[in-house]
């Protein structure tokens, strides 16, 4: 069975633990549930199947039943806390605590670097900027950014990008990208951080409205769509974004770093059919 820090889903960890025990003995869901303090013989089975949620109060008991102790027990509880967090801020807090706990015990959490990368606009901007400013000092890079950033923040960001293998630093102190583009991946924790980045970039986009038209391009259209049309447009956006990345990576040189926001979001509730509206009117009379 894999180390617990290689898991992001507590249900998967419980399932794998059960299957490993089952291979080695006559272990049963009933026995497992009893050891964890549950009266229902199938409660943990239902949790693994997604039919029930493990409460934070019971997480420690389940961890103890699986023989977890010390930081591994705490890590399991934080996985449960993350899974059932009510909002992005709570998810982010639980994930960061997991990473801090793992780092303190010299182990690596999958998705940690990706999570940190998408937490701040500084990372993608300096990843694009630094390779095209050979010989530049951190203060010069800071001045080249449209958004406020200090030289110390530039240094910290560059060190992170090198550590995460997103940039390489040569003997002369210049930077180059390890890959032409960065993909967000599929880890849920990464998408939580990415939403933070999108919020930041959305705020910058509002400020960019004051730039001259020659320096920015913004347009929009309000559409009435069916679900089928919506799905088709989403696919068009994915294809369009891929073509844009291909165009951007054709050139080895960069003259300026840009951010492209492509947004499609609802401006109304889902509408009822005509007959539903008529029915509602009749009921109100």
Report the alpha-carbon distance of residue 32 to residue 21 in Å, rounded. Answer: 10
pLDDT in the model for residue 189: 59
Q: Residue 175: in which H helix or E strand, if any?
A: strand 175-177
Give the closest residue to 167 by CA, choosing from 134, 209, 190, 120. 134
Report the alpha-carbon distance of residue 40 to residue 275 in Å, rounded. Answer: 46
pLDDT in the model for residue 280: 44
pLDDT in the model for residue 187: 55
pLDDT in the model for residue 183: 60
Q: Is the dihedral of CA 5, 8, 10, 16 positive or negative?
A: negative
Torsion, Cα of 103, 106, 108, 112 (10° steps): 20
pLDDT in the model for residue 137: 94
Q: How many alpha carbons fall within 13 Å on the CB side of residue 69?
A: 1
pLDDT in the model for residue 95: 84
Tens digit of pLDDT at every position of the chain (285 positions): 777 877 889 999 999 999 989 887 889 999 999 999 999 999 999 999 999 999 999 999 999 999 888 888 998 999 999 999 998 888 888 888 887 887 776 555 556 677 788 888 999 999 999 999 999 999 999 999 999 999 999 999 999 999 888 899 999 999 999 887 776 554 565 677 778 888 889 999 999 999 999 999 888 899 899 999 999 999 899 888 888 887 887 788 889 999 999 888 888 888 776 655 544 444 443
Instruction: Name residues whose C-beta falls within 8 Å of residue 269's C-beta, 6 or more positions apart in sequence.
Output: none
pLDDT in the model for residue 165: 86
Greatest C-alpha distance within the chain: 81
Report the alpha-carbon distance of residue 16 to residue 232 in Å, rounded. Answer: 38
pLDDT in the model for residue 111: 61
Please give, one letter per residue, the 3-state secondary structure of 19-54.
HHHHHHCCCCHHHHHHHHCCCCCCHHHHHHCCCCCC
**Parallel/antiparallel/unpaired status of strands 175-177 and 167-169:** antiparallel
What's the predicted TM-score (pTM) here?
0.56
> What domains can be seen in the chain, in order of their start residue?
4-108 (1.10.260), 122-248 (no CATH)
pLDDT in the model for residue 284: 41
Please provide residue 168's backbone torsions phi and psi, each rounded to the nearest 5 degrees.
Answer: -120, 140
Report the alpha-carbon distance of residue 281 to residue 285 in Å, rounded. Answer: 7
Asked if 71 and 101 touch (Cβ cutoff 8 Å), the reply is yes
Please give, one letter per residue, the 3-state secondary structure of 68-134.
CCHHHHHHHHHHHHHHCCCCHHHHHHHHHHHHHHHHHCCCCCCCHHHHHHCCCCHHHHHHHHHHHCC
Give the closest residue to 80 by CA, choosing from 66, 64, 94. 94
Angle at 201 between CA 198 and CA 204, to 5 degrees: 155
């Amino acid at each position: 069975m894999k180390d617990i820090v290689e898991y992001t889903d507590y249900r998967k960890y419980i399932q794998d633990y059960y299957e490993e025990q089952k291979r080695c003995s006559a272990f049963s869901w009933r026995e497992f549930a009893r050891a964890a303090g549950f009266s229902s013989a199938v409660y943990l089975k239902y949790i693994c199947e997604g039919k029930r949620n493990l409460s934070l109060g019971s997480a420690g008991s389940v961890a103890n039943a699986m023989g977890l102790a010390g930081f591994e027990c705490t890590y399991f509880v934080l996985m449960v806390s993350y899974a059932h967090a009510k909002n992005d801020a709570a998810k982010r807090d639980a994930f960061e605590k997991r990473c801090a706990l793992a780092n303190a015990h010299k182990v690596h959490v999958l998705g940690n670097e990706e999570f940190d990368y998408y937490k701040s606009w500084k990372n993608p901007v300096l990843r694009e900027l630094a390779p095209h400013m050979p010989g530049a000092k951190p203060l010069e890079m800071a001045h080249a950014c449209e958004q406020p950033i200090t030289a110390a923040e530039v240094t910290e960001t560059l060190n992170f990008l090198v550590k995460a293998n997103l940039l390489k630093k040569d003997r002369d102190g210049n930077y180059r990208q390890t890959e032409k583009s960065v993909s967000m991946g599929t880890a849920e924790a990464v998408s939580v951080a990415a939403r933070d980045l999108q919020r930041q970039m959305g705020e910058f986009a509002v400020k960019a409205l004051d730039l001259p038209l020659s320096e920015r391009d913004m347009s929009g259209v309000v559409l009435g769509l069916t679900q089928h049309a919506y799905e088709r447009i989403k696919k068009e956006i994915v294809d369009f974004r891929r073509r844009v990345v291909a165009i951007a990576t054709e050139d080895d040189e960069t003259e300026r770093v840009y951010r492209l926001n492509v947004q499609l979001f609802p401006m109304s509730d889902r509408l009822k059919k005509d007959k539903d509206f008529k029915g509602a009117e009749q009921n109100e009379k």
